[in-house]
Structure 1
Amino acid sequence: MSTTLTDIARDGLAMAYKRAVTPKAWNHDEEAESSQTQLPQASERHQYCTLEDGTALPLSIEPSDPAEPSEGGFTPGEGETAWSSFLAGVDTEFEHSLDYDTCFGVVIVDVSLPTTDHQDITGVPVTIRPNGGVLSLYFEESGQFAAIIDSRALRKVLSHYAPRLVATLSLKQSHNSKPGKKSKRPGTSDPKWRVENATVRITVYGNMRHKDDIADLFSGEGLFFQQPTVEEYDSSVPYFNPHLLLRPGAEMPKIEDLSISDPRSAASRPALLDEVNQGKIWRIFDLANGDGASVSVAASGRLKSPLRHHQLQALNMMTERERGIIEDAKFPSLWQATSSPHNPKYRHIITGSCEKKPRFIRGGVLADEMGLGKTLTTLALICWYLDVRDAVRCADDRPGESSTTLIVVPKSIIIGWESQIVRHINSDTIAAITYHGPSRRRLVPDFSRHDIVLTTYETLREDYLAPRKSGAQTLYSHHWHRVVLDEAHRIRTRGSELHRAALAISKLAHCHWCLTGTPIHNSLDDYGALLAFIQAPKISEKRDFVRLIVKPMEDENRRGLSRLQDLVNATCLRRTISSLGTAALQLAPLDEKIEWLDLGRDNELYTFFKRKAASVASGFGKQRAGNTGKDKGGENILSLLNFLRQICDYGERMLPVKALESWREGGMNEDGAISTCPDSDQTGENQGITAGSSRSAKAEAVIRNILGQQSATGASLPQKSVVFSCWTRMLDLIQNDLESVGLGVQRIDGSASLPQRRVAIEQFMLDPRCVVMLASIGSAGEGIDLISACHVHILEPQWNPMAESQAIGRVYRMGQKQRVSVTRYIVNGTIETYVQWIKKDKLRLISQSLGSRTISQEEVDQKRWKELNKILF
């Protein structure tokens, strides 16, 4: 790298920092004593990067005095300052990297390279930092300057939305390139630049509520999100590509299932399951319920809360697995004892191989449906082991061996685990800490003095990468008695950094458990990835899992189905509310109803967009019949159907400006497309929301029902409601309407930080004046306990029935003392009736999946297409 470029990078960053902050007093930080640039003294402590000449620049903010310190010494979300937005631009991989909840995909940008240091570069990790009017790339490993990005859209996304960016730089191999051709760097007189045939792949993570704004900014510059490869994707967060349109009823595909992927891993990409096969597999899991197994292990005296019978049953299964019991086992095992008394052997039930001393599975998958108390069951297992350790010091508890359990959870539910430990375990009988945040490393020496260490998937991944960079003390510096993954489906992508991190930590543990209500999503190998974590012998390697399970299933071999059933029974336990019965769970029956509504004044608007959707669907149907190639009309169907769904919610106030202009002008592109402008991301009344007589039919119905519930006679507790919607815009409008009639409201959606979630949930639980919780369907999937409510309002039907079940499960779950009602709001004779039909059809497929009649996916698709035509024509 030339001296000139070093000076440009150093001076641009240093001057930008000085312009961003103008403190009255300056002082040196202890960590930057040798720095030539003085830095501000404030209530925060800073970490610095050092340029080649010793100039120190801030990389992160660490609060020195958190307002609400946890036992682990970290309060998430604290330490924000007036100039933290600038710091987000200095290094995109520090504080804001903990605040994203969605992966949007990859944008590919051309870059300018310096004339020097020309070398063969392919997929080299780089970091992105602002440098005057452009963005500079620096090699992650060496910190050396690499290239420049001149992208106005990327600069605006960075400054307005503070995303996390993960980038790699590559030189394209082109026979037509002219490596000696030079051109001036834009905006400078330095001739030592040339435009290379080079690109940077940038994986963009951010908040779901910003998806449309970010997508519009990029598309306005001709940049569109591409699917990341498995290697590029952090599977601890959902993937949602705002530039990808899907067919009606379809869901966003998983990264590992997409056609665009790294060629090096394409051959090993897991096969997609269609809905018919998904139904068969779900039925197999539902049958792995341990029915008939007796209970012999009692709950520990350390527990405050009693265990239900199904929890005691799970506890017995877990203790049996951890003790490695095969003979006289009450639950199925991967190993079966042979009948020869003189030559005892154990046969593997999947491979058929025999061994005298087999390797046991010291763990498994607890896949109970949400709301059945998997957390309490896991805490009961930990308490049982501590009792055994203290009483007999069994052979497995050798001197010096750890007895600590590491529990890895999504960031959004770490608060829930902390509260569950306090609620269910007697004080002073267990020691627990939370390992999370910038100060966490100081806690590593204390691990062995605690029974439970709570951490997040993000922290697990960061600690997994850290030893290669700094050799710091991390989670991987300790041996664990047990590792538990909550919402374990997050590691389902083999080859991802998160899956590799989970496998690495499992090798440092004696026992391994996965907790998840969804052990499979779109691929059988989702479960194979969990088996790899629990170290299931002879079946955890992907090649073995594919050969023994996946391939026979793909060939529709009945032996494959039988093997899968044996494997699931031996490694998993799953119960559902319906299989256990409400009486066993001490739950009152669920009251469910549909409130049918009419469009009213929004009928004209709906009719306009329905005609456009019908026109596009007609053309798409003809091309489907002709089996032609990709067509743009098919891509626009979902966009138009979403417009129809939004109109059913709140009319024109839900639609983007361009859609409204199209309606008022009476026109639209022939293929149904509505052009968008990068700076025109507002909806019809986004400049300000006002309450009044212009409420939609749904808003009026929700307000009427909630007010009626408040005035219900004989209610001994506050009648609290949770209102779910899949549109944050709808939550905005409903919130304004509810507050305008004097109702106390709290809210949780994808943009809520950990402290915000804590405040919202605590106020909703404890304040009798707060009677409504607004929540997005997406935010309800993990870690929210809302049993203080007894009414659920679902504002629109969902394509996926599990999305609604998970939302209801936040209220209708173990511990609920009140009778729960669920009201679904559906506009009659509209697209919502079709979505409701789709949901029921998916449930039908599951229930009929193991029946005698074979159902093909083609038959399912044809039936749905005909049903959609009934709605549109």
Structure 2
Amino acid sequence: MFLAPFEQLKRKPAFERKERNAEELLFQILFDDHGAYLETVNRNLRVIAADYRQYSGPVREVLRALETIQQKNSFVIDWEKNPDQVYLADYDFLLWQLRECSNLVNEQGKNLLFAPGEGKIIVRLEGESPLQGQVILQHENQEFTNWQLISESYLLSENQIYQVKPLGSNFKHLPLFQASVPVPDVEKYLSLLFSSFPEVMVQYRDYQTVTLPEPLPPQPTLIFEKIDENNALYLRVTQVLPNFDVDFLEQYEVDKIVNLNDLENTISVRPVAYQPYADLVNEVVSLVTGKTKSKKALHSFYQEDNLLVIPEPIARDFLRNQLPYLLHKYQLFGAEKLKSYKIAAVKPKLLLMLRSSIDFLEGDASLELQGQKFSLFDVIQQYHKNRYIQLSDGTQAILNEKYIQRLERLFKKKKDKVKLSFFDLPLVEELLEEKIANEYFARSRDVFQGFNDLKKKKVKLPAVQAQLRPYQEQGFKWLHYLHQHQLGGCLADDMGLGKTLQAITMLSTVYPAQQQPSLIVMPKSLLFNWENELRKFNPALTSYTYYATTRDLAEAVKHHLILTTYAILRNDIEKFKEQAFYYTILDESQNAKNLNSQVSKAVLLLNGQHRLALSGTPVENNLTELYTLFRYLNPAMFGSADEFNRYYTLPIQQNSDKEVAAELRRKVYPFILRRLKKDVIQELPSKIEQTLFVEMAEEQQRLYEERRRYYQTFLKNQIIQEGIQKAQFFILQALTELRQIASVPESKSDNLVSSAKREVLLENILDAAANGHKMLVFTNFLNGMELIGQDLNQAGIDFVEMTGSTSTRTRQERVTRFQQDPQCRVFLMTLKTGGVGLNLTAADMVFIFDPWWNTAAENQAIDRAHRIGQDKTVFSYRLITKNTIEEKIMHLQEKKKELFANIIASDSASIKSLSETDIEFMLGA
């Protein structure tokens, strides 16, 4: 067990310090069992206060400091003898003065140097079970695992001393965390770590550390230790945290508790709100002794701290009459030891008589307790009233509280019957004997087992103009299986893995045979991308983009697919709810995540035979979003929002209940297909490039058209009068201004017109950051950098930025931070700045905010991430504003690939290669 080394963390007296002499500390750092101290290199050196001025400034300052220490502690300085050491941990300030001493050496006599800047401590958990905990000293681009503590602020590695943020009074315990950790003990390990070092950075898989301000109160607990030969009851009063051993809080002094949330991949750190032990013990003692009629037995009652030894007469009365009052506040351990007192911990047997309904099973449910049969809801009611069930032979049956809570989650009351959701059948089956399970759950078992057999299942792919990768074929099989069984699901692949293609492939099996149209709802930024993907992968699928003022639902339903936005759906829901759809598909379904929003309410009114959601971040902030998603996909899966919060959200998020979290995961697991890029890395090429099309808002379009018409007329006249060669300056000016309006119209409108691209970029960055990705964002315009930086700050995305004016030292600091700090998600820079000499392999996503025709420069920028040392596929996205010069240049590049492939000069040089026809094409309507 990893906990063995942590015995030193238990509440023990601090080390007793011997009185030590101070002077033999000036030049050499040595270590013993108590830590780091200093000795002089020259044993023959004799130093007294009057001699200080003969030494150099730094040495003289250290000697003066040591004289102060000597006077304060009544030390006798004698350099010819071997005095006691002065420990640097006790006099941390000496290290500031020793920084300037050139004669500071290590044990081998080699010079020690102080590293510039500040390092950081990272605790990394790697490997399988058991995990290996490594404490790493990180400084700039280097990591050190071989280090020694000098004080709470300094560490020594090799021949350098590194300063870190103060580790606090527990700093000597840091080496204990270099330990082997079984996976079940990770939360204990991290709780001890954060209690000792609250500011330390932890790296564990792809989990993010989240600090929660709300304290977690431990559960007051009664532990029945034993019944002795005199039938006396040994009762311990303590406090226990969920998911932790009953003795953990008594063994270790922790003030922080850590829980791993596997649903959201977070490490939650919360303060512990202890109740005073004395108050708990006194409460129990008063109930044990306060109402006893046996005064004689009171003489045998014994208390030692939180352990009570209760003689039989008092114990019997306490267990029968007073214990039920405590059970509403206290949890019990060791109830199986109370048989002699006619109290029994009973394992119930669940009995069912059910018949099938549409989405539910209905009928009777009962529990058998030691041969006695009780109605399920009678047991639940009696349990909440008394905390035990009274059996006919006088035994008080104590049931497992989590078992009762599980029954409440699974079974709903319908008059005098029970109702059970189809989606809960696998969970109920776990509670039944095999014979009964076979009788009622054969069909449902086949459906749920089918999800596990999909890899072996053969399905004919429809005709689409794409070669699906193996994971995409698997995604299509999953979608097809949901379709067959009329189940809703969420395709939750990571950004860039082709969710749209997989959905189009599924729709291609339905159309053209199906007569009913299907509705696809998305953010407006995706409308043009869906149009392009449909044309690219299956032009036979007809589509109507239901958007803008000319939208016509009567015309739209004549097509296979209707594409619209969440905003339009909300505004036109009265029309949409009257239309029957074959499929309703929500792309970026997190846009309908807010339970009480108008968009979420509109989505629920849609009438579709099949329901599907696409999202790279199905659960962004809390489990209520998961409920909102499945209320749309499979309405029968959960009850009301209040029930979901009571049965799932509160136990998981407030109490960190692992069993409830595991149950919820099992319940939704078949209906969410989630693949991250790292999961399918072997199936991906090393680099994938995509284009994101953006539509201008009305104000931006108006501004763009005004300037486009102006330059179209102006340049036509210039070229006629002066010729195209002499018009180069004006051509560059025109193209540059139109590019700015297409990307950052704020710079040409005194911030009155907003960029549509910024909204799309931020959506994608938030999506990628939620999935743990790091990104490079390139722009040509400083205005763009400023505005994007503002957006990132407002969204709470940590980032660094770099322009041509950034100094070399600052560049390196920012590169190091981006590469090493897991919280730093975005590196924002100009295209030219980022094009040369940077190695940014921590990023696996690149956004070109305002593309230009110099694709060589863009490729150089993308290669900042895609180069030696990169072990992930790099996804690059070019943002193109529709109906602007950007789209025209993209088409021109496609037509004249050879021309642009030969352009390696600056932007202005490439303009010379454009003809008058090219200029007219780019500036034309």
Which structure carries more relative contact order (alpha carbon 8 Å, separation 6+)?
A: 1
TM-score by length of 2: 0.30
Greater strand share, structure number:
2
TM-score by length of 1: 0.32
Highest Rg: 1 or 2?
2
